[in-house]
Amino acid sequence: MHPGQSFQTIGIISRPRRSNLVVVVPPLLKWLDSRGIQTLIDEETAECLPNGSKGLPRQRVADASQLLLVLGGDGTMLAAARLAAPRGIPILPINMGSLGFLTSFTLEELHPALDDTLEGRFSLSERVMISVELERATKVIETQRVLNDVVINKGALARMIELELHIDGAFVCRYRSDGLIVASPTGSTAYSLSAGGPIVHPAVESFVITPICPHTLSDRPLVIRDSSSIVMKLSGNTESVFLTLDGQRGIPLQPTDLVRVSRAKEPLKLIYPPKKSYFEILRSKLKWGEA
């Protein structure tokens, strides 16, 4: 709990074209205004308002906010995380999507969650962010932070990828597969899980490295400490091979490209329901124990 912390400016980021935002956002803005809270909305949220309000680019919303209220699913949450983490501002996520591992508050819990948060009655989970660099011809041409995963994968019609994995300077192996996933504990319930990787509790300081459809069946997922330095190097055929970040951005790769992965300095501060354990959320989302 954080009884000494108060939020005077809240930024709202939402999923574009989410039809029920028209019902949710206008009364929410009035509710916040009645409590003296300044609100900033992104351009996607503004499109849902009936009065032709103009929103701000998401980066400007994050720059001026003390808290980000995210209305949407995990995709919206991932985009907001990349803005919030380097600025050190927490996120209050409200699930308006379908699955929502990260957006653990329901829409019905929106106002009670806001009440608790504004009164300082909230719990924070610090989630590891991944720092990724793309190096080409000895020059870093791309630097990003992601919450879930860094993936090297092939296009739909491409042949198997060949790549080398190095951890802390030591050669691990050469993979022939459809791709390779490096996931944070938060991202262990995303693409990595679908590819056969383990579920890792967010408090475990680790990365999960999961091959996608490996040619050699003994190539299994690895769990390593998150202080490790990971390097993935392409070899062999690189036609139609992509570096995919959080499943939201794809960058075409070229022969001999290096992808360097490490733990980012700034974690994501995620507000979560204090009465829901991580395992309760897993049971709900994965339908554990249901016939």
Strand order of the β-sheet with 149-154 is 222-225, 206-212, 179-183, 149-154, 241-245, 249-252
Known catalytic membership, residue 74: yes
CA–CA separation, 283 and 173 (whole Å): 35
- Sorted by sequence, the CB contacts under 8 Å of residue 67 that are 6+ apart come out as 7, 9, 10, 11, 89, 90, 91, 92, 117
Q: Which of 33, 42, 63, 74 is catalytic?
A: 74
Q: Are 258 and 231 in contact (CB under 8 A)?
A: yes
Q: Are 73 and 13 in contact (CB under 8 A)?
A: no
CA–CA separation, 148 and 268 (whole Å): 11
Q: Are 63 and 41 in contact (CB under 8 A)?
A: no
- Sorted by sequence, the CB contacts under 8 Å of residue 241 that are 6+ apart come out as 152, 153, 154, 155, 158, 161, 234, 252, 253
Residues annotated catalytic, as ranges: 74
